[in-house]
Every structure is written in structure tokens, then in C-alpha cells.
Amino acid sequence: MTENLTEPIEPVTQVRKKSLKDEVFELLHQHIVAGRCTPGEWLRQEEIASRLGVSQTPVREALDLLVSVGLAERVPFRGVRVPELSATEIVDAYLMRLELESMAACLAAQNRSEEQKSGMSEIIQQTRFSITLEDMSRQRQLNKSFHLMIAEASGSTLLCKLYEMVSNLFPDWRLYEYMFRHPELLENSLEKEYQEHKAILDAISAQNQELAVQVAAQHIRNLGDEIVNYLDVPRNLLKEKEMQLTPLLCSYNLDKSENKRR
């Protein structure tokens, strides 16, 4: 991809069940999540096309997809690169997710349809069997789909759009990358994620708004702990920013879960 890419990308030669664009996207997705592309690294369209043995059109489309899911950013007049977020930017994205996920879970518990409930349940069951390092790319996409479906179940189009924008900025791919470097954490992390997602779905299915808010907020707070522990984001910065939102957080009863973390 660039001079910094340590492992070559294999050419696309397999029998295709997906579009070429999707295959290229999946390959690049896996490289980024696996940490083979470093933050700030440029994703050169011409070089990628040459290495994969494909035209530039599917590569350009795949790069557009990477940008849309937050795994890449487009810099005007320069190209596309892997995002390099500051600690402050990561914390800001975390706080926005905390608020929007809580609101989405609350509304979803009231407005979700049976079809949406079944869809979320199906996604959770698929994640149950994505348990290896090779599954991390698919796991991340399933995770994103689950949370987006909660936002859609809220019944608010605007909330859904805002949530998708914020989720694209949240560096969850960096957490998956960390799992590649520390595979001993993988099994417990995926089991924990599965149980938390199941708790959110159970509360939404039961139309228990208060519980849905609490478990959704705790899930994001646990992600907050992970970005502190795994991405070297200063805990005092995260706590300082959280304290600025104390009135809103208390309105969602998030102070109850905070006591458990101390």
C-alpha cells in the first residue's frame, strides 16, 4: 500500500462470490483491523490496484467504503489515509456515543418492531461464532450493524444519521487491532461483548426503557475503559470530559454504573 506496509496484499484470484469492490474493501478492512496499516498511513489507489492486479475503479470504490465506515479519511488534494486520531478526538467520539447510544436504546425499547428485534437477535447469534483473529473484520462489521439497528429501531431518522456519523469516528477498529497484537485477550473480550449485546437486546425486547438505557450506557462505558487501557487515552481526560456532562448523564441514571467502576 505504501512503503510502511509490512505484509503484501495477495492478488484477487479466487472465485468471486462478492463484487470486486467488496473483495477489495474486505482485504483492506482486514489489513487495517489487523494493524498492518498504521494510523496516518496513506492508502494509494494506484499502488493498491497494482498489487491486487485489478483496475483502479474497484479500488477507488473500496476506498470510498472505507471512508464511509470510519476506517479511512479523505484529505482534500492529498488522498486517503488511515485515521490518526488524537486522545481528545477519541474522547469526544466516546462521549457522543455514550449519549446517542443511551438515547437510541431508550427509544428502541419503546418503538422497535418485531422484525427489528429478530434482526438484532440474528446478528448477535452470528457474532457468537466469530471467535478467531481471522473473524475480526467480520466481527467488527456485525458489531456495527447491531448498533446501527438499535439506532434505526429508535424510530428517529435524525438520531440514526447522527449516530452513524459518530460511530464512524469512534476508533473501535483500533481496539480490534489491539486484539491482533494480544490474542490472549480475544476470547474473554468477545464473550463479554456478546453478553453485553444480549443484555441490551433483552431489555429492548422487554420494552424496559430504564434497563435498556442502563445496559447500553454501561456497554459504552466499558468501551471507555478499553480505550484508556488499550489505546493509552488518559483516564483523567476522559473523566474530566464526562464530568462536564454530569447533568445529562444523571438524567439517564448513568451515575449508578459509575459507582460500580470506582
Tens digit of each residue's pLDDT (9 = 90 or more) over 31-57: 887 777 888 999 999 999 999 999 999
pLDDT of residue 165: 82
pLDDT in tens, 225-236: 999 999 889 999
pLDDT band per the 50, 70, 90 thresholds, residue 249: low
pLDDT of residue 246: 65
Q: So what's the pLDDT on residue 257?
A: 47
Looking from the CA of 66 toward its CB, the CA atoms found within 13 Å total 33
Arithmetic mean of pLDDT, 103-126: 95
Please name which of 128, 230, 121 lies closest in space to residue 172, comparing C-alpha atoms: 230
What is each CA distance from 144 to 2, 60, 123, 218, 248, in whole angstroms?
A: 28, 23, 10, 17, 25
Higher-pLDDT residue of 144 and 205 is 205
Q: Do residues 16 and 23 lie in contact, with contact meaning Cβ atoms separated by under 8 Å?
A: yes
pLDDT at 69: 79
Domains of the chain: 20-81 (1.10.10.10), 87-261 (1.20.120.530)
Out of 9-23, 34-48, 149-163, 178-192, which region has the weakest mean confidence (pLDDT)? 9-23
- Answer whether residue 62 shows pLDDT above 90: yes
Q: Is the confidence at residue 10, as pLDDT, over 60?
A: no
Residues 67-102 pLDDT 10s: 987 889 999 999 999 988 899 999 999 999 999 999
pTM for this prediction: 0.75
pLDDT, the chain, mean: 85
- In this prediction, residues 14-25 reach a mean pLDDT of 75
Q: Which residues contact 117 (CB under 8 A, 6 or more apart)?
A: 153, 201, 204, 205
- What is each CA distance from 175 to 44, 81, 217, in whole angstroms? 24, 18, 18
